[in-house]
Amino acid sequence: MSTAQRPRTGGDLVLHSLTALGADTVFGLPGQHALGLFDALRRSSLRYVGLRTENNAGFAADARARLTGTVTPLLVSTGPGALMTLPALQESAAACAPVLGISSQIPTAGLGGGRKGYLHELRDQQASFRDIVKSTCTVRTASQIPSALAAAWRHALQAPAGPVWVEIPQDVLLDPTTVPPVRALDATPAPLLPRPELIEEAAAALDRAARPAVLAGGGVVRAGAQRALRTLAEKLDAPVACTFGGKGAFPWQHPLSVRSWLEDRHTTGFLQDADVLLVAGSGLGELSSNYHTFRPRGQVIQIEADLGKLESNHQALALHADAAPALAALAGAVTSRPAGQGRERARTLLEKVHARIAGQDLDTEQQVLAAVREALPDDAPSFWDMTILGYWAWSAFDPRTGPFHSAQGAGGLGYAFPAALGAATTDPARPVLAVSGDGGAMYSIAELATARQYGLPVTWLIVDDGGYGILREYMSDAFGQATATELARPDFTALAASFGVPATRTTPGRLGEDLAKALAAPGPSVVVLPAVLKMFAPTHL
């Protein structure tokens, strides 16, 4: 039977539905039960980007979802393939990235836990995902596919955004269907607006404040509320700190910016001293509160889209709302005051922070981070693994106009490189930077083949310190010596070359030049920096 005569299948209906919902790119990895879905891909207009493991495909989808602000589909198979996505989906859940996971399932006759012995069979595959994603759904007939996918798409986008999971049995994907082709699906989420009386109360409190301050979280960035935040801060003359997930919410060099030194006691004390602290788009979790040492002495106003995070750590005037409409409403409601005092408070705080860092013999670390900043174009996205240089970047890196993302939501290794590959699919003309340690790099090394296959413009900076460097520091500080942190590793430059990816071995002194050259070249590249970096001293202990 020719392709033109082939009847449409459930797999075709999935791809038609995704196209109608606005998808243009999907990530994933095929498997036996999902072949009907992947066969339909060649008959669709969707671009497919395949990675070498399902977890890395999930990280790539996560990054594209973050950069585009809309749903990105992830296509995988049953059982082991589906379960391999769990670490990536946990990161997407923590970072509110709208990933739509679509997996196959065993044939319909085997659903219900009957233990019929199908390949990849789980008693309840959905159960593995319920505690991670926003919603799960098992489709049982082709007629359910368009509505199920539209509902999942809408739920993924509904503030707070996050991953969702839909699974479809093998036979439903393979069997012919008479369901008409999907032409249009509406999955627009309802806006999450603040209640007017809460805006009035919050504006009045901010107007009365003598020492107002703002802590801007990732919710500000996700909502695209940067302009409203800046207007509000300038009207209030209020200093602004950004959480690690909220980097880019407020201009780094603005005179009201106290940047992101949240693991510094001076910053913690500054935020505690505010008589009114506006927390926008943050739950004040472990990292944002200097490991829960933050103890506010004044009033806290919290804007948060996730109802479960409202007042979960501190009592507050709580606004259950998306950051964009809430900050815009507050900016319009508060009274402008003269500039000056807030800027002086911000300047004094940063002087104290910088003096503390300057007294710790950390010149190499600051030189390396400055070299990365100098080499990276202002608007280039960067993705950072859980590595010492990444931890430095949380506090000390100016993202300028480029998106800044790391795996600090769930805290797993191996995020940076596959995420950067996903980000690179959004604009092939713009370079993307990934930063990993040698331990984290080994989680993703197979994706060098993906980078080469698709010619993606990602430069991967690997800081090779011979082990899990941050865990080495933690264990040495806590127990006097480290265990299980030292690693044998490959010659990363030779390994990259074997994939056909250009690689350079550099030094702290040459890093800026070598990295800039790699970022300017087309296609993927690797820069390896052998260096043992140190963290600045913690202040929460």
CA distances from 517 to 215, 310, 458 (A): 36, 46, 12
Residue whose pair of structure tokens reads 């020719």 in the numeric block: 2
Does 287 share its domain with 394?
no
Does 168 share its domain with 69?
yes
Residue 465 lies in a domain: yes
Tell which of 307, 330, 353 closes a domain.
353
Average pLDDT score over residue span 88-117:
93
The whole-angstrom separation of Cα 377 and Cα 397 is 13
The whole-angstrom separation of Cα 166 and Cα 102 is 5
Per-residue pLDDT reduced to its tens digit, 426-455: 998 999 999 999 999 999 999 999 999 999
Does 160 share its domain with 240?
no
Segments forming the whole domain that contains residue 92:
10-174
Tell which of 308, 338, 353 closes a domain.
353
Does 218 share its domain with 333?
yes
- pTM comes to 0.97
Residue 2 lies in a domain: no
- Whether 299 shows a pLDDT value over 60: the answer reads yes
Residue 123 lies in a domain: yes
Does 341 share its domain with 373?
no
Does 248 share its domain with 137?
no
Per-residue pLDDT reduced to its tens digit, 71-92: 999 999 999 999 999 999 999 9
The whole-angstrom separation of Cα 198 and Cα 337 is 22
Residue 89: predicted pLDDT? 98
Residue 390 lies in a domain: yes
Residue 306 lies in a domain: yes
- Whether 458 shows a pLDDT value over 80: the answer reads yes
Does 523 share its domain with 482?
yes
Does 346 share its domain with 206?
yes
Nearest-5° Cα angle at 24, 434 to 423: 10
Does 342 share its domain with 402?
no
Per-residue pLDDT reduced to its tens digit, 237-247: 999 999 999 99
How many CB atoms within 10 Å of residue 88? 32
Average pLDDT score over residue span 19-32:
97
Residue 336 lies in a domain: yes
What CATH number did the domain enclosing 241 receive?
A: 3.40.50.1220
The DSSP bridge partners found for residue 103 are 76, 167
Kindly provide the residue ranges of all beta strands, DSSP E only, lying in 170-255, ordered along the sequence: 212-216, 240-242
The whole-angstrom separation of Cα 513 and Cα 505 is 12
Does 372 share its domain with 341?
no
Give the mean pLDDT of the chain: 96
Average pLDDT score over residue span 224-229:
98
- Whether 250 shows a pLDDT value over 60: the answer reads yes
Cis peptide before 490 (omega within 30 of 0): no
Helix (H) or strand (E) holding 101: strand 99-105
Residue 190 lies in a domain: no
Nearest-5° Cα angle at 405, 404 to 406: 135
Domain count, the chain: 3
Does 368 share its domain with 345?
no
Tell which of 298, 333, 353 closes a domain.
353
Residue 5: predicted pLDDT? 61
Question: Would you call 262 helix, strand, or coil by DSSP?
Answer: coil
Burial of residue 433 (CB within 10 Å: 0-12, 13-18, 19+) is: buried
The whole-angstrom separation of Cα 501 and Cα 424 is 16
- The rounded Cα 117 to chain-centroid distance in angstroms is 38
Q: What percent of the chain has pLDDT over 70?
A: 99
- Whether 4 shows a pLDDT value over 70: the answer reads no
What CATH number did the domain enclosing 526 receive?
A: 3.40.50.970
Residue 3 confidence class, pLDDT cut points 50, 70, 90: very low
Does 373 share its domain with 343?
no
- Alpha-carbon Rg of the chain, whole angstroms? 24
Residue 495 lies in a domain: yes
- Whether 1 shows a pLDDT value over 70: the answer reads no
CA distances from 116 to 83, 107, 121, 127, 399 (A): 20, 10, 8, 18, 53
Residue 2 confidence class, pLDDT cut points 50, 70, 90: very low
